[in-house]
């Protein structure tokens, strides 16, 4: 049987002639070739290739969620693609080790030729941040200017347009808000859970006050932290308080979405909640790895240029270090651990609800056999 398609040559398929001719060191152009500039270019080109793949994966996941319902099998597809992104992120972190084989003196041999180019101008990385759900007010000003000011007008238009598209964060929030698990007739979860939490907090307070090994100053600090926990729990039971925290910038996920995410975590052993739990977990994994990459990148910059100004004009290490915690997208999912209680103290699910969570559940009626996934 003859092959239905013409033969493909490896080099042509990968366009290796173009790819391998894309490293043009500036130091050589000025007649002072610096050996390590080739490494510098290749590492950053590889970063951009991986960024392209991450954008490809994120765009496909957003498409899966861009409907009034998400088919359950697509949750598995989204989890698989998010897992792929996390594996790429690990490579991004490891690439810094390769770059660090270049010493600060090696970098100084060609650094002056790069001004004012900077990784800050990576359009693809800014698109990744916007696709994930970075908010404009969340960003640090770059030399008192918006992040898009330092790129070309064409790229500015691309970035500004991406700010107005629904992000992964927004789609996940809407998906959580639609979960029928929030309203199960006859299941008194919240009163029982609240009573358990109140007993737990009272016990924590008693432990602090009765600890004979702590000084009064230590007890005071511990009680202050406990008060913050109590405030967090109070917002979990009061939508108005939750909205107040959102207004103050201390919460981002909506009240309904927060409750749904917590219930998914607490009852993740139920068959219908396995995949939703995996999705929430891998979102945290991805956010954590981007945070780790920012931190490692900041350390690498500090190692390379000390406290010098960055090539793009930023404060270098100090600017990068400040983005580490501030640029988390799914911080509310990290905070869910605050509200977890032992499985042994969870309100018991009624048998009929366990059955409805098997894989068939209707929002409107327990007698319907509409798939849970069609409404989630």
pLDDT of residue 311: 56
Cα separations in angstroms, 361 against 107, 180, 208, 356: 61, 8, 45, 5
Q: Which two tokens stand for residue 122?
A: 């990576």
**3.30.980.10, 1.10.1370.40, 3.40.720.10, 1.20.58.480: which CATH number matches 17-375?**
1.20.58.480
- Cα–Cα dist 275/294, whole Å: 29
pLDDT of residue 189: 79
Q: Which residues pair with 371 in a beta bridge?
A: 360
pLDDT of residue 314: 55
- Cα–Cα dist 94/247, whole Å: 38
From first to last of its 376 residues, the chain has per-residue pLDDT tens of 577 889 999 999 999 999 999 999 999 999 999 999 999 999 999 999 999 999 999 999 999 999 887 888 899 999 999 999 999 999 999 999 999 999 999 999 999 999 888 888 999 999 999 999 999 888 888 777 888 888 999 999 999 999 999 999 999 999 999 876 655 666 777 888 898 899 999 999 999 999 999 999 999 999 999 998 898 899 999 999 999 999 999 999 999 999 999 999 999 988 888 999 999 999 999 999 999 999 999 999 999 888 766 555 555 788 888 888 889 999 999 999 999 988 888 887 777 777 666 543 333 433 443 444 444 5
In sign, the C-alpha dihedral spanning 195, 200, 203, 208 is negative
Q: Which two tokens stand for residue 81?
A: 């693609």
């Amino acid at each position: 049987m003859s092959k239905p398609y013409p033969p493909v040559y490896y080099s042509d398929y990968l366009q290796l002639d173009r790819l391998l001719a894309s490293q043009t060191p500036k130091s050589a152009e000025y007649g002072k070739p610096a050996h390590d500039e080739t490494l510098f270019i290749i590492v950053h080109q590889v970063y951009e290739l991986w960024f392209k793949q991450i954008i490809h994966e994120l765009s496909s996941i957003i498409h899966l969620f861009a409907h009034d319902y998400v088919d359950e099998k697509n949750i598995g597809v989204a989890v698989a693609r998010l897992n792929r992104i996390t594996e790429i992120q690990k490579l991004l972190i490891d690439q810094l080790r390769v770059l660090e084989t270049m010493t600060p003196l090696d970098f100084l041999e060609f650094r002056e030729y790069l001004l004012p180019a900077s990784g800050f101008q990576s359009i693809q990385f800014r698109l990744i941040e916007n696709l994930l759900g970075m908010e404009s007010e969340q960003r640090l000003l770059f030399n008192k200017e918006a992040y898009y000011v330092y790129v070309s007008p064409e790229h500015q238009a691309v970035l500004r347009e991406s700010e107005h598209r629904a992000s992964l964060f927004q789609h996940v929030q809407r998906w959580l808000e639609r979960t029928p698990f929030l309203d199960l007739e006859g299941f008194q979860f919240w009163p029982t859970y609240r009573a358990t939490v109140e007993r737990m907090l009272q016990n924590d307070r008693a432990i602090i006050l009765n600890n004979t090994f702590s000084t009064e100053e230590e007890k005071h600090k511990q009680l202050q932290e406990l008060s913050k926990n109590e405030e967090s729990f109070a917002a979990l039971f009061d939508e108005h308080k939750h909205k107040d925290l959102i207004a103050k910038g201390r919460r981002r996920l909506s009240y309904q979405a927060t409750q749904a995410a917590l219930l998914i975590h607490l009852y993740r052993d139920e068959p219908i909640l396995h995949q939703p739990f995996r999705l929430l977990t891998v979102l945290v994994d991805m956010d954590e790895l981007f945070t780790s990459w920012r931190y490692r990148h900041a350390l690498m910059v500090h190692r390379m240029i000390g406290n010098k100004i960055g090539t793009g004009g930023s404060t270098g290490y100090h600017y990068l270090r400040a983005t580490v915690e501030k640029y988390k997208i799914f911080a509310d999912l990290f905070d869910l651990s605050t509200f977890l209680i032992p499985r042994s103290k969870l309100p018991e699910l009624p048998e009929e609800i366990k059955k409805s969570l098997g894989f068939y559940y209707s929002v409107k009626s327990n007698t319907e056999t509409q798939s849970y996934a069609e409404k989630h």
